């Protein structure tokens, strides 16, 4: 299952709500309700999927979530102040054109639904390793060209200027690295790797083959 992360770009209340709702989801008390939802989706994004699932199930989810809050002394204490008011406002929100929006409930519900139903796996190639390696092998020459044009590409939260080609590739091949990657050729490869790992695929051998391929490609393109 997806591990939900805190982020300092969110409001304090939303961080607390995310934590509470993550604990609630982990009780698995709404899993049957979510996984039997049968609807059509125009987008595979967790937020878009979640908005549809949330709107279809929120009356029941709201009751079960509030029952859980009442049964947990810490959750009840947390919800006695401004967080409780923020939750109530988000429960009443009908979409992203309102303030506040129904986040984080929609995205987290969407991701839970996707995890439970194998939503992403159904949309992935049967051989995920082969698909990833093909994308990565095609990206390497483009990355080498990009790097040679802008070897010092970096932002304040990136590695120091002067990072080697291998260091940038190592970052792109680290599924836990969530910092911005300035080289456009590496970003789709990194995103696909993250998705493969999240779906439980062992990508160790593929990652090593990509690193070996960079060494060979550098010689051939020099």
| Domain parsing of the chain, residue ranges | 12-119, 128-220
Q: How far apart are CA 114 and CA 129, in angstroms?
A: 21
Assigned token pair, 36: 């039997």
Stated pTM of the model = 0.64
**Is the Cβ–Cβ distance between 173 and 190 less than 8 Å?**
yes
Q: What is the CA radius of gyration of the chain?
A: 21
Residue 206 has phi, psi (to 5 degrees) of -65, -40
Q: Rounded to an integer, what is the distance from CA 55 to the centroid of its chain?
A: 21
- How confident is the model over 15-61, as pLDDT tens digits? 889 999 999 999 999 999 998 898 888 888 888 999 999 999 999 99
Which residues are CB-neighbours of 75 under 8 A, at least 6 positions away?
Answer: 20, 23, 68, 69
DSSP character string of 7-50:
-TTS-HHHHHHHHHHHHHHTTTTTHHHHHT-----S---HHHHH
Say whether pLDDT at 143 is over 80. yes
């Amino acid at each position: 299952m997806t591990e939900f992360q805190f982020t300092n770009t969110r409001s304090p209340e939303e961080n607390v709500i995310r934590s509470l709702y993550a604990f609630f989801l982990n009780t698995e008390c709404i899993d049957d309700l979510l996984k039997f939802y049968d609807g059509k989706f125009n987008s595979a994004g967790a937020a878009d999927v979640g908005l549809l699932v949330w709107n279809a199930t929120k009356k029941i989810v709201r009751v079960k979530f509030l029952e859980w809050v009442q049964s947990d002394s810490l959750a009840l204490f947390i919800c006695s102040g401004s967080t409780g008011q923020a939750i109530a406002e988000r429960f009443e929100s009908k979409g992203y054109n309102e303030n506040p929006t129904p986040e984080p409930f929609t995205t987290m519900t969407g991701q839970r639904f996707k995890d439970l139903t194998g939503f992403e796996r159904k949309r992935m190639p049967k051989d995920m390793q082969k698909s990833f390696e093909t994308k990565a092998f095609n990206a390497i020459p483009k990355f080498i060209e990009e790097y040679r044009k802008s070897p010092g590409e970096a932002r304040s939260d990136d590695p120091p200027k002067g990072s080697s080609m291998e260091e940038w590739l190592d970052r792109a091949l680290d599924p836990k690295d969530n910092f911005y990657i300035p080289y456009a050729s590496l970003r789709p490869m990194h995103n696909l790797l993250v998705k493969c790992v999240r779906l439980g695929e062992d990508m160790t051998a593929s990652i090593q083959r990509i690193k070996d391929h960079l060494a060979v490609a550098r010689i051939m393109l020099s």
